[in-house]
Chains A and B, each alone.
Chain A
Amino acid sequence: MIPLYITGLGNISPQKTWDNNHFLDEVAGVETNYLRCLDPNYKEYVAGEMVRRMSRIIKMGVAAGKICLADAECTMPDAIITGTGLGCIEDTEKFLTNMIRNNEEFLTPTSFIQSTHNTVSAQIALLLKCHNYNFTYVHRGFSFESALLDSFIRINSGESGTILLGGLDELTPNTFTILQRLGHYKMKPVNNLDMLNDHTRGAIAGEGAAFFLLSANPGEKNYAKIEALDTFYKPISDSIPAYITEFLERSGKRLDEIDLVLMGISGDPANDKVYGDVRNHLFREKPQAWFKHLCGEYQTASSFGLWLAAMILKTGQVPDTTRLEGAKPGMPGNILIYNHYRNLDHSLILVSSV
């Protein structure tokens, strides 16, 4: 497979990540169970009048997409492909709430129009006047991975030279409450940097919009290259190390060539158990890092993980706030991202330096 070169980044997250000249230099611990995105000045990216009409996920997505395109100096990508687990949930809730409260009367269309899952990729296409391939994947923990797989296929078949790829989800107070009741999120705030010492049920909730400009060829500026990807559904825990070994073999990499393992540990003890075998056996000697204490748990959090891997490979720095125990990493050349969403949808992404 031809690797995908990452030539631009745009990331809006609970950390200050939208400025690509800074790399997690202001991370501070907070007592919370709900990591909300920090807002850049959206008016810098979208005309003021439009900003007011947009829900949060549309603002986040459009701004992150535009930051990414500007970073890569790309004006017209050959494809726009996004993944989102819950889509435009704020607008969905708004229309649903009005419909129920008003007994199906006196409704206005705006929130319905903006509730469709493809709204963000459509809005970006509209702003760019981009008539090219446009896709939105909406499969839980495979949403972003499916968009990435589509990107691999398009670049390898020669159908696209450049692709704007995004992973995005927003959290609303209602969705937080519902998922909390379902046991997905913690009942009480904890310090996010110290959440592994908290053994209460659930993860810290999160959200974000991370965009990548992918290219078949190296660009002026390259953050990293994505070499391989795979997804696996509801695996038996015992089979995971074998699966990872087999994935690396297929991707032409030996286990000892992996310099850093970046894991989607979420702070939910029940779901994090799965990482135990990988951490304590397969990669026991390896430098290990994590990212969900910075972005929280959500369906497309692996896009934050990919952003982190790309920044690590570009800068040669593994921020202390992302390190787990294990050997101190040198200058990583190959990073393996292993993530799963609620132990249903598992994924592996192999990223290397250029």
Chain B
Amino acid sequence: MPQRVYITGIGIISSIGNNAGSAFTSLVEEKSGIAGITLLDTSLKGKFPLAEVKMATAELLEAVGCSGKKNLTRTALLGMIAAREAIESAGIDDINEFRTGLISATTVGGMDRSENFYKEFLADQKKGHLIDIVNHDCGDSTERIADFLGITGFMTTISTACSSSANSIMFGAQLIKAGFIDRVVAGGTDSVTKFTLNGFNTLMILDKNDCRPFDENRAGLTLGEGAAYVVLESEEVVKSRNKNVLAELTGYGNANDAYHQTASSPEGTGAFLAMQKALHLSGLMPDDIDYINVHGTGTQNNDLSEGIATQNIFGEKMPPFSSTKSYTGHTLGAAGAVEAVIAVISINHGIIFPNLRFETPMKELSITPFTKVMKGVDVRNILSNSFGFGGNNSTLIISKTN
């Protein structure tokens, strides 16, 4: 009998709040975190909205007691804050009491600082402050988080574009099931940067208005930033610690669309396979799923492809679904974990959160997302999708524990 894997802690910082409590309030009050650009120094200001974490980097430094430290990137800081909350939420006092790992995802790493460095470096190769480039690589933020939390065990970083942190959670579960570690802090972190904002702009998939996932008139995604982590623990650790369990990770699936470097296949092959694998692993049938948190970026291509794949899996038994990216924007490498944390919140409060700004059903689909907060729902199983460039598609299933 393979180990069961439990979620015992959550932590999140995003445009809808600096911790799980404030995220919950925003979600219930249908308050989106998307707004005009206030912090990012970009010439695209005024042209596109963003879902920024409403704290300047100096304030983030202060929040982790590192004011004045110059070697921490915004990506690392967001990760430190959310991972610390996850550990506190799990009631962990001694982090190394069990074999504890850290698996973090990021797509931009320290790019926010590299942008500054390169400005001077490109003009003169002897110039540019090295402190701005030393943390460029993705592994840096993970090591900073590990050092901050005192984690000395297994650690790694995953980067599979927008499915990165769903994959962190999946790999964490696999390590626990294999008996390689007992517990893992798994999730992801990404800050908004000019690099990503301009990148998505060249692809012409940024909505000039706040994103409208699954709407006929959707015009692209809204970029966001944030970090989110869950604490996963083995059955044995949960029993010995006698702490509250928030949910169980019952299924996960990873597949590749193998269609195009950025576009999703018209029939959503990879999405279909990821959902199918996750359902199979969990032993659940489609009608056991009470809510789907779709990837739902708001781009023409994703929502159509995902919609068709989802219809093909669920047929007539389509459960309520929504894209919470209508609240948080698309947090890229953090998105899978952000949505996993929202799923845990839903299960524990019996509330599912709507797809904001939805007006017109897509003409190719027979399904529409729900648009108002639904309370008093018995949420037993949630399926959550995260799909990325390179056809990297992942699905998680998070369930209520008995």
| Stretch of B76-84, B221-229, B251-259, B367-375 on the interface side | B251-259
CB interface residues, A 85-128, toward B, < 8 Å: 85-87, 93, 95-97, 99-101, 103-105, 107-109, 112-119, 121-123, 125-126, 128
Distance (Å) between the CB of B176 and the closest chain A CB? 10
Let me know if A132 and B255 touch, CB within 8 A: yes
With a cutoff of 8 Å between Cβ atoms, the chain A residues found around residue B143 in the complex are: 140, 233, 344
Kindly state the separation between the CA atoms of A93 and B115 in the bound complex, as whole angstroms. 10
Q: Which of A66-74, A146-154, A207-215, A326-334 contacts B (4 or more CB under 8 A)?
A: A146-154
Q: A131-B255, A135-B167, A233-B152 are in contact. Are A126 and B178 (CB under 8 A)?
A: no
Q: Which residue of B lies closest to A156 (CB)?
A: B178
Expressed in whole angstroms, the minimum distance between the Cβ of A10 and any Cβ of chain B is 20
Q: Are B155 and A234 in contact (CB under 8 A)?
A: no
Contacts of B177 in A (CB 8 A): 157
Knowing A131-B273, A149-B180, the reply to whether A86 touches B137 (Cβ < 8 A) is: yes
Decide if A185 is an interface residue (CB 8 Å cutoff): no
Task: Identify which of B55-63, B194-202, B303-311, B357-365 touches chain A.
Answer: B194-202
Q: Which of A24-32, A175-183, A187-195, A240-248 contacts B (4 or more CB under 8 A)?
A: A175-183
| B75 interface contact, C-beta 8 A | no
Distance in angstroms from B174 CB to nearest chain A CB is: 5
A142 proximal to B (CB < 8 A): yes
The smallest beta-carbon distance between B169 and chain A, in angstroms, is 13
User: Which positions 104-145 of chain B face chain A at CB distance < 8 Å?
Assistant: 106-107, 114-115, 118-119, 121-122, 125-126, 128, 130, 133-134, 137-140, 142-143
Stretch at the interface among B28-36, B207-215, B241-249, B387-395: B387-395
A131–B391 alpha-carbon span in the complex (Å):
9
Task: Find out whether the CB atom of A126 lies under 8 angstroms from the CB atom of B133.
Answer: no
Closest residue to A117 on the B side, CB-wise?
B159
Is A307 at the interface (CB under 8 A from chain B)?
no
Across the interface, do A131 and B254 meet the contact criterion of CB distance under 8 Å? no
How far apart are the CA atoms of A85 and B137 in the complex, in Å?
A: 7
A109 touches B203 (CB 8 A): yes
CA distance in complex: A296, B4 (Å): 43
From A107, A113, A121, A131, contact of B270 by CB (8 A)? A131
On whether the beta carbons of A138 and B138 are closer than 8 Å, the reply is yes
A-B pair number, CB within 8 angstroms: 186
Partner of B195, one of A87, A95, A156, A177: A95
Q: Does A136 contact B (CB under 8 A)?
A: yes
Q: Are B258 and A125 in contact (CB under 8 A)?
A: yes
Complex: A134 Cα to B164 Cα, angstroms:
11
At the interface, yes or no: A130 with Cβ under 8 Å from chain B? yes
- The answer to whether B44 has its CB under 8 Å from any CB of chain A is yes
Q: Return the contact of A116 from the options B122, B134, B159, B201 (Cβ within 8 A).
A: B159
The answer to whether B240 has its CB under 8 Å from any CB of chain A is no
Contact of B391 among A101, A114, A134, A136 (CB under 8 A): A134
Q: Give the Cβ gap from A303 to chain B, nearest Cβ, in Å.
A: 15
Would you call A143 and B139 a contact (CB within 8 A)?
A: yes
Size class of the A contact interface (CB-based, 8 Å)? 35 or more
A18 at the interface (CB under 8 A from B): no
Q: Hey, which chain A residues are within 8 Å of B260, CB to CB?
A: 126
**A135 CB contacts on chain B under 8 angstroms:** 158, 160, 167, 171, 254
- Asked if A291 CB lies within 8 Å of chain B CBs, one says no
Q: Which residues of A contact B154 (CB under 8 A)?
A: 231
Interface centre among A108, A122, A174, A177 (most CB of B within 10 A): A122
Can you name the residue of chain B whose Cβ is closest to the Cβ of A145? Answer: B156
Q: Is the CB–CB distance between A119 and B194 below 8 Å?
A: no
Question: Is the CB–CB distance between B107 and A233 below 8 Å?
Answer: no
Q: In the complex, how many angstroms separate the beta carbon of B163 from the nearest chain A beta carbon?
A: 9
A139 contacts partner chain B, Cβ-Cβ < 8 Å: yes
- Chain B residue nearest to A344 (CB atoms) is B143
- Which chain A residues border B106 with CB–CB below 8 Å? 138
- Cβ of A139 and Cβ of B122 under 8 Å apart? no
In the complex, chain B residues whose CB is within 8 Å of the CB of A87:
138, 159
Chain B residue numbers with a CB within 8 Å of A234 are: 152
A125→B261 CA distance, assembly (Å): 10
A-B contact pairs, 30 of them (CB 8 A): A87-B159, A96-B195, A99-B198, A100-B119, A101-B122, A105-B43, A109-B203, A116-B390, A117-B138, A125-B390, A126-B259, A134-B255, A135-B158, A135-B254, A136-B392, A137-B156, A137-B157, A138-B159, A139-B139, A139-B156, A140-B139, A140-B143, A142-B156, A146-B156, A149-B180, A150-B171, A157-B178, A181-B126, A233-B152, A299-B139
Interface residues of A (CB under 8 A from B): 80, 85-87, 93, 95-97, 99-101, 103-105, 107-109, 112-119, 121-123, 125-126, 128-140, 142-143, 146, 149-150, 153-154, 156-157, 174, 177-178, 181-182, 231, 233-234, 299, 344-345
Other A-B pairs, 5, CB within 8 Å; known A107-B202, A113-B262, A134-B392 = A116-B161, A117-B159, A138-B137, A142-B155, A142-B157
